[in-house]
Amino acid sequence: MSHVEIEPFKTHSKPSTLSTKKLLGISGLAWMFDAMDVGILSFIIAALMKDWQLNPTQLGWIGSVNSIGMAVGAVFFGILSDRIGRKQVFIFTLILFSVASGLSALTNTLSLFLILRFFVGAGLGGELPVASTLVSESVPANKRGQIVVLLESFWAAGWILAALIAYFVIPTYGWRVALLLTALPAFYAIYLRLKLPDSPKFVNTQLTQEKLSLGKKLNLVWSRPYLKSTTMLWILWFTVVFSYYGMFLWLPSVMIGKGFTLIKSFQYILIMTLAQLPGYFLAAFLIERIGRKWVLISFLIGTAISAYLFGQAQSAAMLIGYGMLLSFFNLGAWGALYAYTPEHYPTTIRGTGVGMAAAFGRIGGILGPLLVGYMISFNYSITTIFLFFALTILLGVIAVAFLGNETKQTELE
């Protein structure tokens, strides 16, 4: 990866410069911690099912409350990042989800656990779109898509870390110790405060343009110039988040339902998770060559086919194989999604536009885990459930194909 210097910008503090490689590493570690927390939750759900004797509907609510918090956080912190800057919001959201996740390890009731998971979700939902916006605004156009996909690849590292913690920690020390480990990233915020500069585009915009009111920002996102893009992005985010959280938060429980032990299920999920990394890397390689639109379409179609095949699988080998394909294509699509979304809005409303799209997607994240819980309660088969998710993903493909514009190497306004 080439070493590209971000131009210094004027603020009230000393001007900062940061190479693209360092920016990617600093932001990527925070992204990895996000993924670790979401990944841990999927394993915690399987452990809580045994420890607290929870039914599928209650388990579904754990995942959904997390997504409710993510929806609220995406809107609130996205808007706030357009007002006070990407960096400050990035740091605060990291602290919020880390502390709340650590506190959730100390709970003994489902109701208190759900309240804390809401705040965890708010921090996660705020950090992800703000981080991708900050990175998008800080790198040159010809590298922007690739860098943002590589940023998203840290998600796979976080899931792998979560799977390792689940495999080695939960069976021996319990789920509470695993959750306490997720509080450690709060200390990383101190490092971010010292080392991470804010987006140069945001700072320059603050110096040269008047601040828009909240109402005007919301109206602009849905104004005629951005109407088609916003519609496409909201459909795309909803279908991707709905299917991802519906499928992946339930993967360990699905494996247990197939007859595998808790430890064996965690081992298989770890193997599936490893396939996320090559999915990201291929998407990063292709995104500046064939463009965002066609990477999204091809990887989402691959996700839909893999979801259908996973639902049909019976043997351990087929489950692992199709699970790896599902991880490969789905997470590659996520990388392209985060690169694609910020490129549709100008700097003054970019945080708001990205946050609102992500928040609408989180509604899908609320409904997905709940739907699986209710469908299992009503004795729907895993085959039927994963077929439903495959069809939902194809709706996202249609939205991108007919409403999406190619944004490869376009300069951000």
The pLDDT score that the predictor gives to residue 215 is: 85
What's the mean pLDDT in 3-19? 44
Query: Which domains occur in the chain, in start order?
Result: 22-194+213-403 (1.20.1250.20)
Nearest to 206 by CA among 86, 342, 354: 86
The pLDDT score that the predictor gives to residue 105 is: 92
The pLDDT score that the predictor gives to residue 310 is: 93
The pLDDT-based confidence of 17 (bands split at 50, 70, 90) is low
| Cα distance between residue 119 and residue 41, in whole Å | 14
Say if CB 322 and CB 306 are below 8 A apart. Answer: yes
pLDDT at 7 over 70: no
Nearest to 96 by CA among 112, 68, 116: 116
End-to-end CA distance of the chain: 25
What's the mean pLDDT in 36-50? 84
Q: Which two tokens stand for residue 37?
A: 């927390």
| Cα distance between residue 358 and residue 351, in whole Å | 10
The pLDDT-based confidence of 13 (bands split at 50, 70, 90) is very low
The pLDDT score that the predictor gives to residue 6 is: 35
The pLDDT score that the predictor gives to residue 18 is: 64
Q: What is the pTM of this model?
A: 0.79
Q: Which two tokens stand for residue 290?
A: 């064939």
The pLDDT score that the predictor gives to residue 207 is: 57
Please, what is the angle between helix 276-287 and helix 316-340, to 10°?
40
9-23, 90-104, 272-286, 314-328, range with the lowest pLDDT:
9-23
The pLDDT score that the predictor gives to residue 107 is: 92
Phi first, then psi: give them for residue 326, nearest 5 degrees.
Answer: -60, -45
Say if CB 43 and CB 262 are below 8 A apart. Answer: no
| Cα distance between residue 155 and residue 333, in whole Å | 12
The whole-chain average pLDDT of the chain stands at 86
The pLDDT score that the predictor gives to residue 300 is: 98
What's the mean pLDDT in 289-307? 96
What's the mean pLDDT in 72-85? 88
C-alpha 88, offset from chain centre: 20
Say if CB 93 and CB 365 are below 8 A apart. Answer: no
pLDDT at 211 over 80: no
* Residue with the larger pLDDT of the pair 49 and 122: 122
What's the mean pLDDT in 15-41? 80
| Cα distance between residue 390 and residue 303, in whole Å | 7
CA distances from 149 to 2, 153, 380 (A): 16, 6, 36
Nearest to 181 by CA among 191, 200, 166: 166
| Cα distance between residue 250 and residue 252, in whole Å | 6
Number of helices followed by number of strands (H, E) in the chain: 18, 0
Say if CB 293 and CB 402 are below 8 A apart. Answer: no
22-36, 87-101, 185-199, range with the lowest pLDDT:
185-199
Nearest to 355 by CA among 79, 91, 86: 79
Nearest to 39 by CA among 251, 333, 268, 326: 251
The pLDDT score that the predictor gives to residue 377 is: 85
